[in-house]
Structure formats: structure tokens, C-alpha cells
Amino acid sequence: MSEIQLQTRQPEEPSVAQMLQGVIQSGLTADNVQAFKELVQLHREEVASKHKAAFNRAFFALKKEISGMDFYCDKQATTKSGGVAYTYCSEAEIAGKLEPALFRHGFTMLFGQRQEADRVVAIVTLIHEDGHEETREYSVRVGVSNQMKDNTAVDAGSTTSAWRHLVMKMFGLKSRIREEDDARNIGRPISADKAADLERRCEAANVNQRAFLDFAGAKTFAEIGEARLPEIEAMLTRKEAKAKASRPSDNDGMADHDLDWNTEPKN
């Protein structure tokens, strides 16, 4: 007979639930009631630990899935002049893609909020189907009402902003510009003739070529992408008109966006 077969099999230790059942079957007395209370607390901690472990495993799997998802900046904030100040992900863009992923991994979210002086606090509780939950908070300053936004609209906007920032940080979401709107998507390089034409026009309008190329996202005129060409052409045309209408050093009355490219200094 082998050594393995000769080994005595050790009996498994009873679980906390089994010990509780044993106490119940034997009957509660004044002598064992304290032990019973301690076993109940120990059982709760054991179950909570298992549920937290299940939460962590599911959350890890969720984060792996989210890391391959794209959350696009589908909203724009505008300046007073109507230009684009910045872009951001809307609540619909985030929730529409995040919630199905949450359900696939056994999660759901509860949302709450509270007011603290001049701040609004967004509260998100992430609940796992096994029972464990985690709560996180994020606060933002409440804006000021104006002719376009009353107090209700300002409060709602602040709450949505807090929720958006909280969820993006809680799940590590990375927002992207849509491919068709991405300034980094420059397309094919322009032709050699076009590159030479742009360089000639810059020299004629006394445009700072380094600032021009920085704006174009290129190191040389030959590297300028076709996708940026309409924007570059429009700006250069404005610079040419300014140069023709006034002295190159005279910037009086120029709009802010016309100062993107500094004028080449005169020797």
C-alpha cells in the first residue's frame, strides 16, 4: 500500500454556519448565549468577506471590459462669442454605454446628492448582486444664475457635472473626441505645390511660420494634413486681409483668434 493511501485523512473544520446550527440544535442556554452572539457576528463577517471578494472579482472584470470601450465627447461648451470652449461626454453618452456593462457583471448604481454651502455633492453607490456595495462622492461649486439659466437649471447642471466627473473617475473612463472631429486626425499630407503655396503666402503676409506650423500640427509645410487645410486656409486668408489693410505691426482692433500666429518681427 502506498504512503499516500496510508495517510490519515484529516476531518474538515466545521464552518461558522455549522457551529451556529449546532448551538441552535442543542438549545440556547444562559451558558452558551454569549458564544452564540459571537458566532452570529463571526458569521456576518465571513459572509461580508465573501461578498466583498465577489465584488472585487466582478469589478476587476468590469474594468477590463471598460478599458476597451470608447466614450466620446458629444457635447460642446461655447464661449460668449459662440466659439467652442471645450468638449465633454454627456450623461447620456456615459450611461448609455456604461449601464449595459454594469449589468453584465452583476452591478447597478444608485444616485443621490446633497447641498453643502456653495457646493453640490453627487453620491454614487455601486451595488453588486451578491450584496456588497461601495459608495463614492464628488463635489462641484454651484454656478450662478443668469438670463439664460435660472436657479433650477444651474442646480441641475452642477449636479450633472458632479455625477459625470464622479462616474468617470470611479470607473476610470477615458473620453475621446469622435474620430471625424479629432484634430489629430490630419489625413494625408498636402501636395508639394500646396505646401509651397502656403509657405509663400505666409511670407507675403509676414506670418510667424513657427506659430503657423504649430497651429497646423506639423513640423514642416510638407507635413500639413489635408483634414486641417480648410481651417488653415480660413485663418491664413484673414491674416492676409489684415496685412493688406494695415501695417503688420498694427494689431489694433484685431480679434483674439487672429493673434494665434504672431507676426514675424521686423529687422
- Per-residue pLDDT tens digits for 207-216: 998 889 888 8
In sequence order, which residues have a C-beta less than 8 Å from that of residue 127 and are 6 or more positions away? Answer: 107, 108, 109, 110, 133
All structural domains of the chain with their residue ranges: 16-65, 71-179, 192-259
Asked if CATH classification 3.40.5 holds for the domain at 71-179, the reply, yes or no, is no
Q: Which one is predicted more confidently, 33 or 92?
A: 92
Contact 243, 266 (CB under 8 A): no
| pLDDT for 258 | 45
In sequence order, which residues have a C-beta less than 8 Å from that of residue 249 and are 6 or more positions away? Answer: 263, 266
In sign, the C-alpha dihedral spanning 247, 250, 254, 257 is positive
Phi first, then psi: give them for residue 173, nearest 5 degrees: -75, 140
Q: Which one is predicted more confidently, 252 or 148?
A: 148
Pick the most confident of 67-81, 117-131, 247-261: 117-131
pLDDT in tens, 127-158: 999 999 999 999 888 866 665 567 777 778 88
